Structure formats: structure tokens, C-alpha cells
Amino acid sequence: MTTTYEAGSYDVIVIGAGHAGVEAAYAAAKMGAKTLMLTISLDMIAFMPCNPSIGGPAKGIVVREIDALGGVMGRVIDKTHIQMRMLNTGKGPAVRALRAQADKVLYQREMKRLLEEEENLTINQAMVDELIIEDGTVTGVVTQTGGIYRAKSVIVTTGTYLRGEIIIGDVKYSSGPNNQRPSIKLADNLRELGFDIIRFKTGTPPRVNSKTIDYSKTEIQPGDDEPRAFSFETTEFIMDQIPCWLTYTSAETHDIINNNLDKAPMFTGLITAEGPRYCPSIETKIVRFNDKPRHQLFLEPEGRDTQEVYVQGLSTSLPENIQREMLKSIPGLENAEMMRAGYAIEYDSVVPTQLWPTLETKLIKNLYTAGQINGTSGYEEAAGQGLMAGINAAAKVLGKEELILKRSEAYIGVLIDDLVTKGTNEPYRLLTSRAEYRLLLRHDNADLRLTEIGYKIGLISEERYKKFTTKKEQIENEIARLREVIIKPNETTQSVIRSVGGTELKDGIRAADLLKRPEMNYELVASLTPSEIELSNEVKEQVEIQLKYEGYIQKALTQVEKLHKMENKKIPEDIDYDDVPSIATEAREKLKEVRPLSIAQASRISGVNPADISILLVYIEQGKIARIGNE
């Protein structure tokens, strides 16, 4: 029995310092809660165990949302990337997304520096073995080395550390990511407390030495020439970029894999946990899509001061010697030295329907979970949840209002609602198709959607908020102006229209309507009717998008309005579903499990049909009438 001692008392304790943990700790501290962040290793803060990149479709928008709410991911990657690209520029505004290649080490260092500077935040290296629970409420944690830390609320962000097991070929050993110490006792503790635990799997590809790559056999993938940033605060841009490279698997690679499937843990039965479909191992890809002659592989540098290169697309848990053979069969990698082998990792997650939409567990009060422990995958998904858990844990401690983002407000809202309402049977990744209102959830308007909220909860500075309101006003004024101004069909106008192949005007037309023509853009219209004040590119972009796609945006807003009426129909927390008559059995079971907060959330549960919702509505109304009658 370890000797224990009282190690301190806090408002919020965050277990873990990965992408979820750092956001949670930062947000809680910034909001004024006395916060402690505990991590197994101080050298692993904000570590990227998988690919050296942040952002991409949907995920990139999450980073923008985190930034608009006052989180840190966007600010840190803006300072530490080696390359940035805007993706989907040829498509509509709703699906544009920014992606950065990170310098992994710099990213960690910058994150650690930023957290260490935070006033209300204490950072300790310690492994938490146990949660202290009193009367169904968490009140602290006990570490392996005997420290008892008291807290009003605790956030668990254990990532793949929780009973982690690494698998390479026929080797399987207990480990966290990248051979870190795994967290075993806490996993046992969560089971003992009654949490329903599932086992998930994910994987990572081998890393090779850049000096041994023949880049002449690959295609260059440079960053954008334009300055880009995730954070709305960033004013300095890194223009010295490092390219990625593209190569492909060969027929020989496929033969090697096919000939060694009997040694693949994915198929030998060594791996039993569910892996993500969107991030399959190369062996899974080749088995499932065996007609494809080759697969793309991106060679991504892991940083400026390292020769390590991440082979994106080659995630595998085949034996080490087979991995070496595979690499030799890939154009450009014939002589490549493998520095680290790819591996699969299995870990414990809690079934996320055990959480409220605030990420507090239903089982234990003031206990929150965020990130991979909730069944997600991806740094951005983890960070988004970490931020929300941090905000809600601090809000509860400080007596402030909880924050639940709506599906129509943020990808983070979609992510959390999906998790707590539907659960997941594989590591969950955000995709743009998961958002029904993605036209509203754009990369470009994340600040317009969320800055107000970030300011109210105290994560956005006065100065930044002021800048934001100015921008917002400018957008509104310019849109109003363009709706008023009439463009006359004079020679100047016609020549501008002709220059882009449009149909000449017959009569005068409102500037806003002219902008809606497919061939027109803001700059062209503004050349005919310049704004009186100098407008930033961001303002111009907003004016253009909001006017050009007004019809579609309006359609989406009408749908959202309907949804909000249902969101506003709250279900009493003390409702006894067994007392609701006539409801279908399956629906009853699901409702009891998820315990939705609103009628809208209830209607999103699979297995709950419209008739059940109707009955539920009538039941709730009946209860209200009865209450009024009793008073």
C-alpha cells in the first residue's frame, strides 16, 4: 500500500496533457478556476503520436472554432507549422479547409511554454491511479506516488494511454503511444466505478530517414504561396515552408502484403478491437479494395530539425521485417532507412452515451471525459472536446452557465451531439457530411459564429472582441450598402461585365444582385461602386459569400429555426420513461440510456420514431398541466 499525502486542492484537475487535456486545462484556468494538469510525462505535452498535421476538411474548421472560442490549438500551430495549404479552394465556401503540416517538437514546446505562462494553471508530472468519489461526486484523485489532489471537478483525457497495448506482428505489449507508460489502474478504477468500457484500435505508419529517400521519384507537394493562419489573432505568417512529397505503393508492395497476411495481426486475431474505417491500415486497404493497382503515400517531414519523415497512407501493424520489405518496394523509398516501425494500438474508451452534452458523466457528478477516451480519433476532435469539457467544468465550479454548442452552431456541437446521442462503434472522426448545416458551419465564419460566446465565458480578450465587433459591423454595413446601391447600365459597367463573359445589363440593378451572378465577385462589383472605407480581405470575403449564397444560406436558416423550436422543448431531467404509456419498447430503452435533454435530441436517437416523440410531448405537457393543477 502506497503511503499517501495531501498534495493540494484545486477547482479543476485535468488528467492528461494531450490535445484534449491542454485545451481543457487552459480554458478552465483562463476562466478563473484554479487548475491542475497532471501528465504521465511532461515531455509528452501536446504530443502528436500519429501524423504531423493539423486541420483538413471539417477538422480545420474545428481548429478555427476552437480559436474563436478562445482555445489554443490554432494559435500554437500558426507559430509552429512547416507548411500550410487551403484545401477545396475550387469548391464552394462551405467546404474550404485549412491544413498545416506541423513541426511536432516545436508544437509541443510552444504549447508547453504557453501553458506554463498561464497564471491559474499548475502542471505536474504524475500518473493518476484512482478517482476519489464521495456521494456520487468526484472530489479528487490519487496518484501512483501517493499524492492526493482534491478538486471540485475532474476531467479525464487519457487518449490511447488507457490500458494501451501496442501490436507489431506477433508482438503485443502493454504501452501508451510511442512506448510511453500506459495507464492501467485508472482503467480498472473506471470499470469498478461502473462505466461501460469499449476497446478501440488505431494505428500509425513507419517513419523513414529523409536522407535515404530518393525524392526524384516522387512528386512535390508544396504549401500555399498566400499567407494563411488558423487563428483570427495571428498577424505574423511563416512563409518559409517545407514541401511534402507524393509516391505510391507498387504491385510488389501489394504482393508482399498479400503474401504475409497470415502474419498480419489484423487478420490473425491478435487485434480484436474496432478500428476506424477512415484510417485503415495498408493491409486492410489491400484486402478490401484488391482491384486497386496502387495507393497514394504522402511523405510528410516531422519537423524542421529532424530527418524523420512520416509515410502517410502506410499505417500498419505487420511484423517489423515485413514493414522494411514493404518500404523497399515503394518508388523513392528503395533505400530508405526505417527509423520507427508502424504499430497498432488498442485502448479503453468509455461508451460516450454515458455522458451529458456538457461531457459530464451521468454516473458521477463533476467528472468529465474528453478526447479519445470518448471514442473519437484525431487531434482536433480531441481538442474541441477538451475545450468544451474545460469550459463546462470551470463554469460549474464558478457557478456560471454551462455551454452546449448546437449542431447548427459548430462542428464541435455536431461532434459532441453525435457522441452523446448516438454513441459510436468505431473511433469517431468528423466528416463534413456529418454536419447537416455545413453551409452555416464554414471555415470563414467561425469567428462570427462563436466569438460572442467565447467573449461571454471569458476566454476572448476585450481587445480581440473589439476588433471582432468592428469587423462584424463593417460586414453588415457593406452588405446593406450593396443592397441599396443601384448599378447603372453605363459603358463602364458593361465593359466590366463583358470582361468576365457576363450578359450586359438592360436596366439598373442593385449591386447585391449583380454580385449574385455566377461570374461576378466582390472586387468587380466594388470597382463599380467602391466602399467609402478601406475594407480588409476578410470583410470582403464575408460580404461576397453572404450575398452570393444568400438563397442557400436562407434555406438552411429556415431549417435551423424549426430545429431550435424542438431544441427549446426541454425534457425534465427527472422524467421516468417507464411511466410514459404506449411508447415503443426499443424507444423506451434508448431514451433511458441516452436521457436526452430536449425533444430535438430525443428525435435524433436511432430507434426513437416520430410517434414516440409525439407521445413523449403529450406526456411532458400532461406533467406540466398536472403540476400547475397541484400548485
Least distance in angstroms from the C-beta of 59 to other proteins: 10
| Integer Cα distance of 373 and 381 in angstroms | 11
First-to-last CA distance in the chain?
A: 56
Binding residue count for other proteins, defined by CB under 8 A: 61
Candidates 149, 549, 590, 601; binder of other proteins (CB under 8 A) is: 549
* Residue 555 touches other proteins, criterion: CB under 8 A: yes
Candidates 18, 57, 74, 342; binder of other proteins (CB under 8 A) is: 57
| Integer Cα distance of 542 and 547 in angstroms | 8
Q: Is the dihedral of CA 168, 169, 171, 172 positive or negative?
A: positive
Least distance in angstroms from the C-beta of 567 to other proteins: 11
Looking at residues 104 to 133 of the shown chain, list those that interact with other proteins (rule: CB under 8 A). Answer: none
* Residue 292 touches other proteins, criterion: CB under 8 A: yes
Instruction: With contacts defined by CB under 8 A, name the span among 34-42, 120-128, 137-145, 281-289 that binds other proteins.
Output: 281-289
Q: Judged by CB, which is closer to other proteins: 3, or 585? A: 585
Candidates 43, 582, 586, 589; binder of other proteins (CB under 8 A) is: 582
Looking at residues 503 to 542 of the shown chain, list those that interact with other proteins (rule: CB under 8 A). Answer: 518-519
278 carries a ligand binding annotation: yes
288 carries a ligand binding annotation: yes
| Integer Cα distance of 400 and 386 in angstroms | 18
564 carries a ligand binding annotation: no
Please report, for the chain, how many H helices and E strands are present, in that order: 21, 22
Beta strands 244-248; 219-221: pairing state: antiparallel
Q: Judged by CB, which is closer to other proteins: 403, or 584? A: 584
Looking at residues 259 to 278 of the shown chain, list those that interact with other proteins (rule: CB under 8 A). Answer: 276-278
DSSP of 369-407: E-GGGGTB-SHHHHHHHHHHHHHHHHHHHTTPPP----T
DSSP of 453-483: HHHHTT-S-HHHHHHHHHHHHHHHHHHHHHH
Helix/strand/coil (H, E, C) string of 277-327? CCCCCHHHHHHHCCCCCCCEEEEEECCCCCCEEEEECCCCCCCHHHHHHHH
Q: Do residues 139 and 150 touch, judged by C-beta distance below 8 A?
A: yes
Over the range 519-556, which residues count as b (16 or more CB within 10 Å of their CB) and which as e? Answer: ebebebbbebeebeeebeeebbbbbbbbbbbeeebeeb
Instruction: With contacts defined by CB under 8 A, name the span among 62-70, 83-91, 153-161, 254-262 that binds other proteins.
Output: 83-91
* Residue 280 touches other proteins, criterion: CB under 8 A: yes
Least distance in angstroms from the C-beta of 272 to other proteins: 20
* Residue 622 touches other proteins, criterion: CB under 8 A: yes
Site string for other proteins, 410-449 (x = CB under 8 A): ------------x--------xxxx-x--x----------
| Integer Cα distance of 361 and 246 in angstroms | 44
| Integer Cα distance of 208 and 220 in angstroms | 17
18 carries a ligand binding annotation: yes
Site string for other proteins, 601-620 (x = CB under 8 A): -----x---xx--xx-xxx-
Binding site for other proteins (CB under 8 A): 50-51, 57-58, 87-88, 91-92, 94-95, 205, 221, 276-280, 285, 288-289, 292, 294-296, 298, 312-313, 315, 422, 431-434, 436, 439, 518-519, 549, 552, 555-556, 562, 565-566, 569, 581-582, 599, 606, 610-611, 614-615, 617-619, 621-622, 625-626, 629
